Amino acid sequence: MKSHARVVVIGGGVVGVSTLYHLALKGWSDVVLLERSELTGGSTWHAAGLLPLFNMSYTVGQLHKYSVDLYKRLPAETGQDVSFHVTGNLRLATHRDRMDEYQKYCGTANTIGVPFQVIGPREVRELWPLAEIGDGAETPAIIGALYHPDDGHIAPADLTMALRKGARSRGAEIHEQTEVTAVKRTASGEWHLTTTKGDIVAEHVVCATGNYARQTGRLFGINVPSIPVEHQYIVYDESPELKAYRQNGGRELAVLRESDQSYYLREERMGWILGPYEAGAPARFADGVPDWFGKSLFEGDLERLLPHVEAAQRRVPSLATCGIKDIVNGPIAYTPDGSPLVGPAWGARNLWLNEGHSFGITAAGGSGWQLAEWIVEGEPGIDMMAVDPRRYGPYTSKRYVIQKNEETYRNVFVIHYPDEERADARPAKTSPVYDKLKRLGAVFGQRYGWERANWFAPPGVPAEDKWSFRRSNYFEHVGNEARHLRQHVGVIDLTPFTKHEVTGPGAEAWLDSLVANKVPTKIGRIALCHALTRRGGIRSEFTITKIADEHYYVVSAGAAERYDSDYLQQHLPASGVTLRNITMSRGCFVLAGPRARDVLAKLTDLPLDNAAFPWLTGQVAEVGLAVDVYLLRVNFVGALGWELHFPIEYAHHLFDALFEAGADHGIAMAGMRAMESLRLEKSYRMWGTDLSPDYTPYEAGLDRFVRLNKGAFIGKEALERQLAQGVPHRFVTFEVHDVTDADALGNEPLFAPDGTLVGRATAGYYGATLGKSLGLGYVKPAFAAVGTELHILILGEKKRATVLIDSPYDPDNKDLKA
């Protein structure tokens, strides 16, 4: 083994080998993979080899699509067959919500170019003659299905070997029986790895260790939120019916997924493989994989699988006549949201994760592709936030991960409602006023571990969601909250905001080098600033307030705490700037609405008129009994108002004081869903949905927040190039017409009236004060003019849409500046 390499990949499963292959493909041949046992010796060897293109996530969908395309070309490139059976993939639906889910998915599939068909029971019968359509009595009747003609199943070990050949032919080295046992940093900042076969120093390290992710993380001092869960499939003997069907010329049957019964079924050597996702599958190895486990499996637990076996037998009666040959029960890596961890680790330079894969055979190609791009080019080619390891924070305790992973596993096949909020491991991280909000009827959701009030059930209304792809039980109440805030005054608890304090003589120049806007120079000024990728895409959004000389207060999305904190930390200069993450020491209430000034005036002696306290300024104030409150005259709902950022110990006092002071004005809480409705009416772009690395500030219509004449900042050259070459997309706000019960929600395709795909929606909901169904999104520039007619596909129905002016509500910002 050589003593030095540019990259060392730890782990020789399909994911590690794919990462190695893609690094070599990008021209980095000085790359080495270390495997403690033999290639595929982890989970890869026993995987069922299914390659589902279906995924509700825009990012993961693109990774899966890349994989399927790659796996088709690999044999020709490497000379190694991978046994890719392109059988197609059939997902059955037995009720309307399931069809809604498929139709919602189709929007994403359209925008990323995955071929699919939505078919009826007759076509299901033609594609799958051995299945019962069902009469609705014992076997639920199939009402339709989603069919992917392009995917199927593959031999995971052969796939790994093909990737291995491709990597080695480009100079990559692979060492088996070589376990990494210790790690330290060299003085020059490289990684020094101790292995069972000697030492190696590397500039970059990629961890792709599957079930071992937590113990590998410990070597590097990080807590990786991936813990495996048991997953089983049953291998059946030959089926006489299947054999007869095939001998009569029937083609290999598509992989069948009866989502409503939570199982998949595919052919295997004239028999079947049946894979349920059952309740009760336990998490394993939370403290690490024991040495004895090696290439072993767990004992099969047929009892747990029986309800699914019986459901499958009802759907495919010939299954009942087949004997069971084997039960494969192996550990499958999971994360709390079920998506993998692909990207940089936090708090350590040049440490990368490709961990937590539960569909690793499917995702290996795509995740290797984008991770190699990230390492070699410095950033990925697509928006990877949905899989970025920094989407999790320090809250992922062992118990949290166990509970969430078991929940995610048993919910693999549940309907993925857009407003779904799963119950396990909650509440854990709460704002101090959580109980008060609960008493006011709050129905909570969870983001980044935080409990956030989504809406408030009025007295007599059950405080619970009925999840749906359509307008649901909370629709009316959310509308009332939004309208009340616009007409009177409302409070929103935004304590989860990410908050940093930047101080020191170098603070201004440093922040200025990170963002496209000019950082405020006058004390009390506030600026909306975007940190860009080198390609000019939007990576972060910061509201920056100059609190005092050499003192900035930097606020960003609550879900971006580790993502932003890590970025700021990594770019911190050696001296002159001090960065403090103060997320947990300050809370935030938004006080907004036409009566906001009257309410606040009762609690502070500061003059609040426009001359003394204009829009986009902030002051440090005493409010009620609270001291050191940052009063910022900004908000995300487009109303007269202030954000109160206060030392956390004043949360209860300020909450009570606001409600007392606002009683005469009918002060009321508003939740996250009302905020969504209000911000859409103002065309306010949301980080993480409307703003992402896929689009520049020019595409997002944020030109006024870019100062090309201010000196260097990350992404500036890319913006200049884009201006010279032409901006490829434009951000639009649009109204959807003739909506009865299903608004746009994001990821719907946008078409020109002639049917050409011209863009995609990134968000949508009902604008409660405008009384319009609204959407935000990106289109080709020719379709961005106000008044342009578009079509949008919502749950399979094409609806007419019209481009509106930016900020259809109060375009002149009169409310804000009142």
Q: Which residues would be at the binding site for ligand FAD (CB under 6 A)?
A: 10-16, 34-37, 41-44, 46-50, 179-180, 208-212, 216, 231, 233, 328, 330-333, 357-362
Considering the complex, state which of residue 41 and residue 445 has its C-beta at the smaller distance from ligand FAD: 41
Give helix 672-681 / helix 475-487 axis angle, nearest 10°.
60
Place of tokens 């399927």: 68
Task: Write the DSSP string, 56-93.
Answer: S-HHHHHHHHHHHHHHHHHHHHHS-----B---EEEEE
Pair of tokens at residue 8: 């060392």
- Residue with smaller CB distance to ligand FAD, 49 or 107: 49
Minimum distance of ligand FAD from residue 101's CB (angstroms): 20
Report which of 475, 372, 396 is spatially closest to residue 27, judged by C-alpha positions. Answer: 372
Token duo for residue 385 = 């936030």
What's the min distance (Å) between Cβ of 683 and ligand FAD? 40
Q: Least CB distance from residue 142 to ligand FAD, whole Å?
A: 23
* Residues with Cβ within 8 Å of residue 582, at least 6 apart in sequence: 499, 500, 501
CB of 91 to ligand FAD, least distance (A): 15
Q: Which is nearer to ligand FAD, 218 or 488 (CB)?
A: 218
Q: Rounded to the nearest whole angstrom, what is the least distance from the CB of residue 689 to ligand FAD in the complex?
A: 27
Q: How is 586-602 classified by DSSP, letter by letter? A: EEEEEEESTTHHHHHHT
Which amino acid belongs to residue 338?
G
End-to-end CA distance of the chain: 71
State in angstroms the smallest separation of the CB of 448 from ligand FAD.
25
**Least Cβ distance, residue 130 to ligand FAD (angstroms):** 21
Angstrom distance (rounded) from CA 596 to CA 601: 8
Phi, psi of 213 (to 5 degrees): -55, -40
Is the bond into 505 cis (omega within 30 degrees of 0)?
no
CB closer to ligand FAD out of 152 and 759? 152
Q: In the complex, what is the shortest distance from the CB of residue 366 to ligand FAD, in angstroms, rounded to a whole number?
A: 11
Q: How far is the CB of 10 from ligand FAD (least distance, A)?
A: 5
602 Cβ partners below 8 Å, 6+ apart? 661
In 3D, which of 539, 540, 541, 546 has the Cα closest to residue 508?
Answer: 546
Of 47 and 680, the one with the shorter C-beta distance to ligand FAD is 47
Task: Tell me whether residue 352 or residue 684 sits nearer to ligand FAD (CB atom).
Answer: 352
Q: Which is nearer to ligand FAD, 71 or 731 (CB)?
A: 71
Q: Measured from the CB atom, is 339 or 454 closer to ligand FAD?
A: 339
Nearer to ligand FAD, 218 or 602 (CB): 218
> What beta strand segments (E) does 593-743 contain?
618-623, 626-632, 641-647, 668-669, 730-736
- For residue 520, the SS3 value is coil
Q: Which is nearer to ligand FAD, 266 or 483 (CB)?
A: 266
Alpha-carbon dihedral 416, 419, 420, 425, rounded to 10 degrees: 140
Closest distance between ligand FAD and the C-beta of residue 34, in Å?
5
CB 168 → ligand FAD: shortest distance, Å? Answer: 17
Q: Of 317, 336, 273, 269, which is closest to residue 130 (Cα–Cα)?
A: 317
- Select 148 or 595, whichever has its Cβ closest to ligand FAD: 148
Closest CA to 341 of 60, 695, 140: 60
| Per-residue CA distances from 406 to 187, 386, 390, 398, 415 (Å) | 42, 20, 21, 12, 17
**Three-state secondary structure along 687-719?**
ECCCECCCCCCCCCCCHHHCCHHHCCCCCHHHH
Q: In this complex, which beta carbon is closest to ligand FAD, that of residue 16 or of residue 520?
A: 16
In the complex, minimum distance from the CB of residue 676 to ligand FAD, in angstroms, rounded to a whole number: 34
